[in-house]
Amino acid sequence: MVSLPVLKDLMLQASRIIKGAAVADRIILCGVPCFILSKDPAPELAAVLRQQAKKRLRDSSVNLSQLSTIAETEVHLHSEERNFGRKSFVGSKGQYRQRDVILHLTGGGFFAHTIASDIPYLLDWSTSTGSVVICPEYSLLPENQFPFQLNQIATIYAALANGNTGVDLGFDTNSIIVTGESAGGNLAAALCVKLAMHNIEAESKDEDPRDISPQSIIPVGKHSSGTRDRLQRMPDAIMLSCPALNLSTELSHSRVIGTEDPVLPNALISAISEAYVSPGFDIKDPLVSPFYASDEVLRRFPPALLFASSRDPLLDDSVAFNERLRVLGVDSELMAVHNVPHAYLGLGTAGFPEAVQVQRYAMDWMSSKLS
């Protein structure tokens, strides 16, 4: 239900009225529809959104049936049109202004998105950190399987990290925190695995990074004169809530005792796993299940915060993953919360005290990583 377009529209409108959001809108980045939220005024971003609104009015002949579910009123500006009538907000040195970004990957088991229920707390995150929150509505099952979703997220992240979104957003990215819940947590962790794997490969090769297979990495940075130039920037931090780190159906203690979880019963875990993984891919591929990433990959992870539920079927995976990160020297911590089901971040909006406590901790933690 939270994926219905009408609910998303209502939540965007409510966020402006109730939460006082300065920006609560939709935008397309790298061909992917995204929600974009900011509590603080962002005149350069607002100008971009106004320009897109004017462009939509001019393009009244667009075929709405070709747009995605959240883009009923959007038109993607083609590259040759992007500068039309647009004012550039630049600083004294000719660069776009910089803003911190939280790239949030919503849950929903790859079959749906929970964006509508996420918007209230995402605006709280924006308020507490001063960041712009970008929430991609990545493609869903059954039409698209792995690695389609991960590639979409990787492309957006690369554009943000490499400073290629100034025209689209009106600002360049300063710090980036990647967050994700449930299936979104899988994508967030898999993104870091993908970045680390690329950097390991880049360090071991002398050739120009453009010669490395695009199927195995995301686009590299603008420079290619040396190893440092072709390494991909890792996020400044990563925060995962009840992440689906292991899509294999192997049983663990938490999966046995969490069979009756109201949000993620074991049967649903199996259904998601079977649907998400394309034929020919191994369920234990670390890009599918980050749980199986090598030590060499995991030691490159950014500072991490994991949230779990004591009743979550995926609890053991988060515990083991956090322990590995810590042993490998990564600044990582895990908070397990009692009396809540799988994927509970949105329950803070409903006043559940455990979820409220988690939200406060999360905002303090993110603020510390951005300071």
- Output the domain CATH number for residue 265: 3.40.50.1820
pTM of the model: 0.84
Residues of the chain with pLDDT under 50: 1, 64-65, 67-94, 209-225
Which amino acid appears at position 356 of this protein? V
b/e sequence 339-363, b meaning 16+ C-beta within 10 Å: ebbbbbbbbbbeebebbeebbeebb
d(CA 19, CA 144): 34
The total domain count for the chain is 1
* Residue-level pLDDT at 63: 52
Query: What is residue 60's predicted lDDT score, i.e. its pLDDT?
Result: 56
| CA distance linking residue 167 with residue 127, whole number of Å | 24
CB 37 within 8 A of CB 122: yes
d(CA 149, CA 252): 27
Q: Where are the beta strands (DSSP E) in the chain?
A: 23-29, 32-38, 98-105, 132-136, 172-181, 237-241, 304-309, 332-337
Domain ranges, residue 322: 5-370
Omega cis (within 30) before 142: yes
**C-alpha to C-alpha distance for 293 and 222, rounded to whole angstroms:** 28
Q: Over the stretch 327-356, which tens digit does the pLDDT of each residue have? A: 999 999 999 999 899 999 999 988 899 999
